[in-house]
Structure 1
Amino acid sequence: MKKQILLSTPHMGEQERKFVTEAFDTNWVAPIGPNVDAFEREFSTLVGSQYSAALSSGTAALHLALKLVGVEAGDEVFCSTFTFIASASPITYLGAKPVFIDSDRTSWNMDPNLLSEALAQKAKVNKLPKAVVLVHLYGQSADIEPILEICDRYSVPLIEDAAEALGATYKNTSPGTWGRAGIFSFNGNKIITTSGGGMLVSDDGDLIEKARFLATQARDPEPHYEHTQIGFNYRLSNISAGIGRGQLAVLSERVAARCRNFATYKSALGDLPGIEFMPEPDYGKSTHWLSCLTFDPNVAKIDREQVRLHLAKHNIETRPLWKPMHLQPVFSDCECFNSRVSEELFQKGLCIPSGSNLSEEDLSRVITEIKKVYRHQ
């Protein structure tokens, strides 16, 4: 059996070791410290946001963002349906209920027209959502400007879930920096990792200050432990932040490697009948965090599952595209403004190995095995 080719693995370097060693040498191993402070500053500079708070996960960042824009029990929050569950589950932490918005075909992200329709309907019955959670999917920015304009029209705060889109651009700016707040993830499979962690960003300094307060158990400024609010244990450790600083220094290289993967796959497989790769609108640049493609069984004469199972048999990890949130059993009672785009993408789509540390041999093996499925159809 040949070695396993995994979907997206951490890609570490030497800078990370330097910052972590410094943390050990100075005994800064707690969830505060110079690496945390520096990571926040360096991240803000990189994405172009005025303020950042380093947290234990992207999920924690989204939870705090929702809380700080005023989401409460009984509220509705609009959310992209084509995403990982961590985009929607924090809504439920606050006792609110998700309302899902389907994707457009141009970017696979939230459809601005559907969002406009949904907000107009809710306005008529005086039930506007408390926030809109816009996901930037698979390294690809959504079309932010029309979505932000629609949200502003109804005075609904926009929160951007850019967990999968660090390093992407939208009109030469970073997704995650347009709305009231943005969140990023440094999970082990992301373009850069802190082994686990996240970042909340905003141009609202008061929001970030409150987020840091809540993330450190909401301890009041007293010599003893005084608490007038319930907080959370959400701050990032100084060791993890050291890893993040080293990773941040090579972000452009990691993005370039994943873009090369995508270009290699598209060049080798793009002419096969029935295959389409994730589109890239001209308003920005995708990082191609994951290389995604769809198989039309009516044209290709094979389907997504045949390809996935064949690759698994040859020790190559792949994964279907996200199952839309409105199809998830835990959200079966939630409303969805649905155009069926995400349902079709889920049925036809596959993520193939995309890590920045893939070798030419790895890419060639993936391509060869996909072509074999075609030859034996």
Structure 2
Amino acid sequence: MKNSKLIPLSVPNLSLTILENVRETIETGWVSTGGRFITEFEAKIAKYTGAPRAVSTQSGTAGLHLALRVLGIEPGDEVIVPSLTFIAAVNPVRYMQAEPVFMDCDDTLNMDMDKLQRFLELECDQVNGQTINRRTKRPVKAVVVVHVFGNPANMDKLMQLKEQYHLHVIEDATEALGSYYLAGRYAGQHCGTIGDIGVYSFNANKIITTGGGGMIVSPHEEYLERAAFLGVQAKTDPLYFIHDEVGYNYRMTNIQAAFGTDQIDQLERFIDAKISSYRLYQAAISDIPGLELYPFRPDTRANHWFYSLYIDEQQYGLNRDELLRQLNERHIQTRPLWGLVHKQKPYRGCLAYEIENACRFEDNLLNIPCSTSLLESELDQVVEALRTLGGTR
């Protein structure tokens, strides 16, 4: 039976308590890139993640661009990136006129650190403290690691490789606010706080939202100072508008931060809701042949941002695209995995190293409704549809 009401994939969970903050921005006129809510939101993110400081940005993409600029990535440098990610994780590399090198994923959907190690060992040379790609003769300067769907990547292994091969590490934690490690070298540390620079996003579908906007964190105060300087048009003298270099209009607005200061206070409640719904799905789907709700790492507290359903067509009876179509016809909003970035038109011809696992996930993963406001009755409707459609052609 088709639902009359749409069950959305992922929508904001907003409270009317935000209105008092918004009212203040309107009454005071502080609606643009200055005001107390910006500094308050930055302070709350820093405290929550355990970072020494946070710098707000216009978007997560802007934060990644600033991170690459701050770390000194130059035209012709190579930056290792995942292919299984949203394209916004890769585009800033090209903003810097640098070259992406695409890496495969492991079974957590995150960058395969064993393949990364193999690439660095077998395809690169160490020359005067730099890692040089033997084939292209270009320096490999950095790795952008994405914590896909809030599932923490293997930072233990990556940080060992960083030290061994003199690489910068940028953590794209845009999907992973609230995810942290329970074991290993970084037990207790949040995604985004381990590499040289970490970036969060507050887009409308993220676990908390400011409508848009992002945040940069780093253990290095000098990086944050530089990012803050470049993000406000690189004003050397803000009174007389003296600019000694090119900067960007990348600061978050006060009205966005007015949303953020309220939303961050709800984050743990939102994560609890995500985990609860995930477990209900997991129990209900476990006996449907051909479907698997993809797991999060057990040695972490993942924020469970998105739920990925793996479809075995032979057992289930429908492939990913057929299931997507039929669920959407039933007003259950679902989404396929992103198209792999190394296959996208702007990046065809870039080096892609042994990409195999990501292709399997690209063909067989489907994201299902996971809003923090998802009702149990709506979840039951999704499961009923999955159960009913199984075995059909």
Superposed CA offset, 1:348-369 (max 9, x none): 0000011001112211111111
Counterpart of 2:110? 109
Asked if 1:163 corresponds to 2:164, the answer is: no
Cα distance in 1, alignment partners of residues 270 and 283 from structure 2? 20
Q: Contact 2:105/2:112 (CA < 8 Å) preserved in 1?
A: yes
Over the aligned positions, Cα root-mean-square deviation in angstroms equals 1.3
Cα distance in 2, alignment partners of residues 52 and 205 from structure 1? 10
Letter in 2 for 1:249: D
Bigger mean CA deviation after superposition, 1-10 or 117-126: 117-126
Alpha-carbon shift at residue 72 of structure 1 (Å): 1.0
Q: How does 1:75-86 map to 2 (within 5 A)?
A: 75-86=77-88
Counterpart of 2:22? 20
Cα distance in 1, alignment partners of residues 125 and 301 from structure 2? 34
Bigger mean CA deviation after superposition, 276-285 or 53-62: 276-285
Bigger mean CA deviation after superposition, 192-201 or 259-268: 259-268
Counterpart of 2:100? 98
Cα distance in 2, alignment partners of residues 329 and 362 from structure 1? 38
Q: Contact 1:119/1:128 (CA < 8 Å) preserved in 2?
A: no
**Which of the numbers 167, 170, 189 marks the counterpart of 1:173?**
189
Superposed CA offset, 1:8-58 (max 9, x none): 011101332222222222221121211100111110010111121111100
Asked if 1:361 corresponds to 2:363, the answer is: no
Cα distance in 2, alignment partners of residues 307 and 262 from structure 1? 20
Q: Contact 2:318/2:391 (CA < 8 Å) preserved in 1?
A: no
Bigger mean CA deviation after superposition, 115-124 or 177-186: 115-124
Secondary structure at the aligned position of 1:129 is classed as strand
The alignment covers a number of residue pairs equal to 376
Q: Contact 1:192/1:248 (CA < 8 Å) preserved in 2?
A: yes
Q: Contact 1:321/1:346 (CA < 8 Å) preserved in 2?
A: yes
Cα distance in 1, alignment partners of residues 363 and 322 from structure 2? 12
TM-score, with structure 1 as normaliser: 0.97
Q: Contact 2:333/2:368 (CA < 8 Å) preserved in 1?
A: yes
Shift in CA distance, 274/375, structure 1 to aligned 2, threshold 3 Å: closer
Secondary structure at the aligned position of 1:50 is classed as coil
Q: How does 1:17-96 map to 2 (within 5 A)?
A: 17-96=19-98
Counterpart of 1:186? 202
Alpha-carbon shift at residue 339 of structure 1 (Å): 4.1
Runs of 4+ in 1 over 3 A off after TM superposition: none
Q: How does 1:118-137 map to 2 (within 5 A)?
A: 118-120=119-121, 121-123=123-125, 125=134, 127-137=138-148
Counterpart of 1:230? 246
Secondary structure at the aligned position of 2:308 is classed as strand
Identical aligned residues as a percent = 35
Counterpart of 1:262? 278
Alpha-carbon shift at residue 298 of structure 1 (Å): 2.1
Q: Contact 1:76/1:129 (CA < 8 Å) preserved in 2?
A: yes
Alpha-carbon shift at residue 222 of structure 1 (Å): 5.1
